[in-house]
Structure 1
């Protein structure tokens, strides 16, 4: 009875092929799925908070410019029986249609809206004109390219403005106000660190990724080479040195700038993106070319021992056969002499 607990404790865990297969499937599906979800979330945010308000503003602006209701003015009425029977009138050589609330709408606008009324409630002449503007001028096939071009142009002028002295002063004032807000400043600082790191990567000029023993020997840290440091440091060290940025996880935008001996760095065969993924994931995401392939050393040793044993047995057999042959030759020689 005393042996059973020890056997249960020391026994290896039972394999779970179903669970392992499910986890492997999740590992394959989750990266592209999360990427698609993130892109959809960004597109929906841009549409809800940028594109839709701009569309509404432009639509009502064009509606205000095109809207004209000649109610109360001289209008020549005439009864015209069309498909459904409507009351029309002429004003300034333009045919208008009388709608139930007493407003007059241009016949060209009325006919287009009647073919595609949409989901809105068309009660006034302004509603008809607004729907007409949406159909004729604000089609998505036309709005999206124009919006994209205007958005890029706005970013260009905003960047130029921020590069100037007045723009920097205005932005510094705005940031100082944001940094005084208790909760907003924490979120803003984190997002700003990531965006600054991503969009200013080319300006920093990272050349390659290395590994260095930091903060002490035996602990290897990932680092980005930013340059060859200062001449005085190189002269004092009496050998080439490198200036490194050692980022911190999971926010690679922050870190430490150090100068180390070039001979103490180890060049890594990975790209900048792979290094950032490794840092952000806290070492979970490892580049495929840097994965350690486990080898069954015990099986290799057993195979080598078996091979050596077989070779030894074969050699021993040959030696026994050779000794027997030599003994037989000696006996034959002695018989001939007698």
Structure 2
């Protein structure tokens, strides 16, 4: 058995390795756009299923109930008739024997194409409302405008003293007292407050600090000059540092460290974020200890091309 393992063809191993590497490289390239498309499709289907569809159903049913002109029967009309005049209006009979105005019936029939007509007069009016006023190119912008107005007036109301007092009281006495809801609501509120808070965290500079233990350096963003009690106890300047986590720097740890125990780095905030998100792969040029192999190959090829061009120029002049 051992001899069989040692006799493995290196070409097969190398071929499988190259194949796997190519597949993983292709997956790394294709995964981000595919996942982005999947996420957007999921968001769209969720909005359509749980927001658009219920709103459209409610609006369609309400409008159809208000404007419907449906008669169970018309006077002086034989049972076999499917078209009759009543009160200076032409009516058409539906499958269940109800009568609706012919203009409504024909409008729905034209838009249904090959689909069967609704059996009831109320169903005809629902389809009429859907095709007349509830087209997606009209409902989506209208819903978006209504949501913006609702958020605007809600924000204006809660910004005032009375509105904020009512909302805080409802949170205190209702949301924070329900056994299961209070846990979910509290977590969601913390996330939304962090993402939507107008007072954004201001990072002043990038530092390196020995965290979580001596000899292990972490990148951090200075947010403030720490607390007065900590500064007095330390006997020297102390700074508050946010230590972000990779590869999602939106979360992290807040620590307080002596200013003398930190190193101020010569990199920008964007470069620090790139370093953290890439898990240390993307290093700022001014902080690289040595050039990357790819960069070295590019420089070598450029120098080789310059030499070739310098050799070709005299030959062209002699020609």
2:55 counterpart of 1:54: yes
Q: CA RMSD in A?
A: 4.1
Deviation sequence 1:267-304 (CA, Å, 0-9, x none): 343439936973xxxx74754647977767xxxxxxxx
Q: How does 1:24-63 map to 2 (within 5 A)?
A: 24-63=25-64
Unaligned stretches of 5+ in structure 2? 294-319
- In 2, distance between residues paired with 1:107 and 1:238? 90
| TM-score, normalised with respect to structure 1 | 0.66
Q: TM-score, normalised by structure 2?
A: 0.69
Query: What residue number does 2:256 align with?
Result: 258
Q: Distance in 2 between matches of 1:94 and 1:294?
A: 86
In the alignment, which of 240, 243, 246 is matched to residue 243 of structure 2?
Answer: 246
Matching residue of 2:134: 138
Q: Deviations over 1:45-103 (max 9, x none)?
A: 11110111011111111011111223356x56599xxxxx9412222x33222223221
1:266: how far off? Answer: 3.2
Equivalent residues of 2:275, 2:282 under 8 A apart: no
Judged with a 3 Å threshold, the aligned counterparts in structure 2 of structure 1 residues 58 and 121 are, in CA distance, closer, same or farther, namely: same
1:329 maps to what in 2?
Answer: none
The structure with the largest alpha-carbon Rg is 1
CA distance in 1, matches of 2:46, 2:271: 29
**For this pair of structures, how many residues does the alignment match?**
277
Q: Which residue of 2 aligns with 1:166?
A: 166
Task: Give the C-alpha shift of residue 147 in structure 1.
Answer: 0.8
Specify the SS of the correspondent of 1:203: coil
The match for 1:212 is 209
C-alpha change, 1:135 and 1:23, in structure 2 (3 Å) is same
5+ residue gaps, structure 1, are 80-84, 297-338
> Could you tell me which residue of structure 2 aligns to residue 95 of structure 1?
90
Residues 100 and 33 from structure 1, CA distance in 2 versus in 1: closer, same or farther, beyond 3 angstroms? closer
* Partner-residue secondary structure (3-state), 1:204: coil
What is aligned with 1:302?
Answer: none
Deviations 1:236-263 (A, max 9, x none): 7676543223345768446334243177
Going from structure 1 to structure 2, the CA distance change for 1:272 and 1:294 (only over 3 Å counts) comes to closer
Q: Is the 8 A contact 2:249 2:273 kept in 1?
A: no
